Amino acid sequence: SYELTQAPSVSVSPGQTASITCSGDKLGDKYACWYQQKPGQSPVLVIYKNSKRPSGIPERFSGSNSGNTATLTISGTQAMDEADYYCQAWDSSTGVFGGGTKLTVL
Amino acid sequence: EVQLVESGGGLVQPGGSLRLSCAASGFTFSPFWMHWVRQAPGKGLVWVSRITSDGSNTIYADSVQGRFIISRDDAKSTLYLQMNSLRAEDTAMYYCARANYGSRGAGDAFDIWGQGTMVTVSS
């Protein structure tokens, strides 16, 4: 079965750029999306179709996808961005999530 | 307000059954493909199942294939998940989610999520 791999944790200082990666076999041939989940809350879509932002998502969130790696980039990271982030893609019509990356802003 | 509201979770014994519901409001339910996603306590998100807009096509994760049934009632704007032969490993928060932005599945992303309903399988 298809797998997406994420680092368990990433740390970033406030105001700096955070990069969260997601790897999978030929992931660049698929669409990747990203979700943010804060403790006790439902996930929120922050990036779809590799690099598109839904309405209401700040411009500091951006995404890319090429080769075997999709990347979520948060520019000028703020304390409110501290959360778990999950990548997701489709494989033969089934959904696949990465294991999640906990972003710590310190 | 666009929202999804799940209900039906609870404590059930191993081998038991439960039916989850997801009521949609604030948007036209019928054109959208809908999904269930679950999250075990302290763990990550896991996709469970999908139903197409006309209800004619469904698909399941291997872990629930043959035990869970997804369905929808567009007249009630409600999505369902019938869960049978429940196991301890099915214990999780269950979210319904709306798929959007794609074309017949490709490129879909979950743009609306419910608040979740907790299912606990234990004796």
Name B102's Cβ contacts closer than 8 Å, sequence gap at least 6.
A31, A49, B108, B109
| pLDDT at res. A35 | 98
Give the integer Cα–Cα distance in Å for B85 and B107. 33
Name B95's Cβ contacts closer than 8 Å, sequence gap at least 6.
A42, A43, B6, B36, B37, B38, B39, B113, B114, B115, B116
A:25-44 residues touching chain B, CB 8 A cutoff: 31, 33, 35, 37, 42-44
B46 has which bridge partners?
B38
What average pLDDT does this structure show over A76-86? 98
Q: Nearest CB to A94: which of B61, B95, B111?
A: B61
Ranges in chain B, pLDDT < 50: none
Instruction: Report the mean per-residue pLDDT for chain B.
Output: 97
Return the beta strands (E) in chain A as ranges: 5-6, 9-12, 18-23, 33-37, 44-47, 61-66, 69-74, 83-91, 94-97, 101-105
| pLDDT at res. A97 | 98
| pLDDT at res. B103 | 82
Instruction: Report the mean per-residue pLDDT for chain A.
Output: 97
B18 has which bridge partners?
B83
| pLDDT at res. B105 | 76
A85 has which bridge partners?
A36, A101
Of all residues in chain B, the one with the smallest CA distance to A35 is B110
| pLDDT at res. B113 | 98
Is the CB of A2 inside 8 Å of chain B's CB atoms? Answer: no
pLDDT above 80 for A100:
yes
**Inter-residue contact B104 to B54 (CB < 8 Å):** no
Buried b / exposed e along B10-40 (16+ C-beta atoms within 10 A)? eebeeeeebebbbbbeebebeebbbbbbbbe
| pLDDT at res. A21 | 98
Q: Please list every residue in chain A whose beta carbon sits closer than 8 Å to the beta carbon of residue B45.
A: 35, 37, 43, 86, 88, 97, 100
Q: What's the pLDDT band for A101 if we cut at 50, 70, 90?
A: very high
pLDDT above 80 for A14:
yes
DSSP code of A79? G
Pairing of strands A101-105, A9-12: parallel
Pairing of strands B58-60, B45-51: antiparallel
What are the structure tokens assigned to A104, written together?
């710590």
A:49-88 residues touching chain B, CB 8 A cutoff: 49, 52, 54, 84, 86, 88
pLDDT above 80 for A70:
yes
